[in-house]
Amino acid sequence: MMNHSLPRLFVLIVATGVALSACSTVRQTTSSSSESTRTISAETSAKARTILKEAGLRMSGDSTRAYSYDPPGSLNTNDKPVEFQKKRTFAFAGADVYFSNEFDGARLNDMKMVNDSTFIAVLAPENAPVNYSAWYGFKAWTNASSAKTIRLTLTYREARHRYIPKLSRKPSADWHSWSPIDPASYKVHYDSAGRETTSATLHLTLSPDTLWVSGHELFTSSDFEAWSANLAKLPFVKKSTLGKSSQGKPLIRLDIVEAAPGAPCVVIVSRQHPPEHTGTLALLPFVETLAGDTPLAKEFRQKFRVFVAPCMNPDGVDGGHWRHNAHGVDLNRDWLNFNQPEPRAVRDALLKMRDSLQTRFVFGVDFHTTQHDIFYTLSNPPMNTAADSAEYARNPAYKQYNAAAAERSKFVETWLERTQALFPAYQVTISDSPRTPNGATSGRWFDRELLAPSLTYEVGDETDRELIRQIGVGSAKVLMEMLLKK
């Protein structure tokens, strides 16, 4: 998610029906679960607090420091020290309870036992400061023949609780293989002011059939690889690599290439921020629709190309990072200095298209996840100011950038209006911020360097998964229609 100073929020159309905003979902879930708090003995409670104190952690009743999406230092994108979690199984043989972080996407830094049915999970970010999107992912089981219910509290270093747990006994890339935890088995703890969600307690039923618990459904680099390979079975989809991530993983590139090499191009990127899976749940149907077997998509592909970097941060995704890449850097703050290999690889590929093929970029979108659905757009600043005149004299390209800026903003605005019209019961919320000649996010770089109408497409944490798919499909159709001027 991006952060803008004084965002101007407005809602195009407020739904009268079911507006599936994550905020209301979260409130409903936490209030209903607080009714079902199970009793815990004073002795267990005291012991839990001692363990937490020893580990330097806090639980409900305490406040944690809350960082914004741009904590101090986030715009410095030079490599920073990262603490990689130790991959292991936490065996509490006496209690016959086991936890493990030995899979891609896992995050579980430590486990403490309070008694044989009460446990504390310790979760820490890859490095700090970091915003408080505290990711977790682990699996748990018992070897006991009868099912065993445990009470597990998630505690965080440097953060607060955010994600409603998703559970699976048989996880796959298909979100249907996961379910949100039963609200009756989930309690969020608040600080003394009643606002900050400092930790959460889950009641989990363990059996020899392993239970997977995660902040969102898991979709890791191997799932992106499989999805991309499958799409590349289509004759007009080409799969290649943009380069390597910080830890040497391939950065996937997909090109939809029926139109001539110099045809105008749509740019799609995603997963700069590791936990942001619902953004992926929008990206997949969006791209599949552009590559679809419909008359509209066929006509679109005769005239336009598509460039996709679906997983820009595979190290962070597989490492269960909260925000950063393997160099401890927020990639969506590196589109000014390009200190990190991942944005650099995307930039170089796009500039090569622009400079060697004279490609014109007609749309740029970056998929993310945040607490609620929101579209971050760029508004037009007042032009021809003294500062503009000085910049024109210094940089002739800036004049071109500024000249068509209103047109770019208008294109995005129309796209959102037409998408809204398709989904009257859905609330399209826009956060508009002024266009500036520099800016460190992908959307600003697409606007500034590629002169492409651009935006950041943020999907809520708990937005209905089927609705996410429908909007992904619908908004892709609207884009094709607009580019074809229908």
Q: For binding to Zn ion (CB under 5 A), which residues are involved? A: 1, 273, 276, 368
Token pair listed for 420: 């809204």
Distance CA(59)–CA(134), nearest Å, equals 15
Using DSSP's 3-state secondary structure scheme, residue 425 falls into: coil
CB of 273 to Zn ion, least distance (A): 4
Give 185's DSSP letter: G
Q: Shortest distance, CB of residue 276 to Zn ion, whole angstroms?
A: 5
1/412 with CB nearer Zn ion: 1
Report, in Å, the least distance between residue 331 CB and Zn ion.
Answer: 9
Closer CB to Zn ion, 273 or 408, in the complex: 273
Please report how close the Cβ of residue 366 comes to Zn ion at its closest, in angstroms. 8
Q: Of 269 and 362, which has the nearer Cβ to Zn ion?
A: 269
Residue 370 CB, shortest distance to Zn ion, in Å, is 7
Amino acid identity of residue 84, one-letter, is F
| Structure tokens that stand for 392 in this block | 């024109």
Q: Which is nearer to Zn ion, 368 or 477 (CB)?
A: 368
Is the Cβ of residue 161 or residue 273 nearer to Zn ion in the bound state? 273
Backbone angles phi, psi at 478, to 5 degrees: -60, -40
Provide the pairing of β-strand 148-156 with 118-123. parallel
255: left (phi over 0), alpha (psi -120 to 50) or beta: beta
**Shortest distance in whole angstroms from residue 1 CB to Zn ion:** 5
Give 245's Cβ-side CA count (13 Å radius).
26
Among 446, 256, 274, which Cα is nearest to 347's? 446
**Shorter beta-carbon distance to Zn ion: residue 1 or 242:** 1
The distance of closest approach from Cβ of residue 198 to Zn ion in the complex, given in angstroms and rounded to an integer, is 23
What's the closest the beta carbon of residue 37 comes to Zn ion, in angstroms?
Answer: 33
Q: Tell me whether residue 2 or residue 202 sits nearer to Zn ion (CB atom).
A: 2
Which of 140/365 has CB closer to Zn ion?
Answer: 365
Using CB positions, name the residue nearest to Zn ion: 368
Neighbours of 348 (CB within 10 A): 13
How long a stretch of residues is the chain?
486
- List, as one string, the DSSP characters of 224-278: HHHHHHHHTTSTTEEEEEEEE-TTS-EEEEEEE--S-TTS-EEEEEE-SSTT-HH
CB of 271 to Zn ion, least distance (A): 9
Nearer to Zn ion, 330 or 413 (CB): 330
By C-alpha distance, which of 57, 43, 27, 277 is closest to 153? 57
Looking up tokens 């007609």, which residue turns up? 362
Q: Which residues pair with 305 in a beta bridge?
A: 265
The secondary structure element, H or E, covering residue 1 is none
Q: Give the nearer residue to Zn ion in terms of CB position, either 325 or 359.
A: 325
Q: 282, 331, 310: which is closest to 224 by C-alpha? A: 310
CB of 166 to Zn ion, least distance (A): 18
Q: How are strands ordered across the β-sheet holding 137-141?
A: 89-92, 97-100, 137-141, 211-214, 166-168, 179-180
Q: Which helix (H) or strand (E) holds 308?
A: strand 305-309
Which tokens hold the place of 12?
A: 């195009």
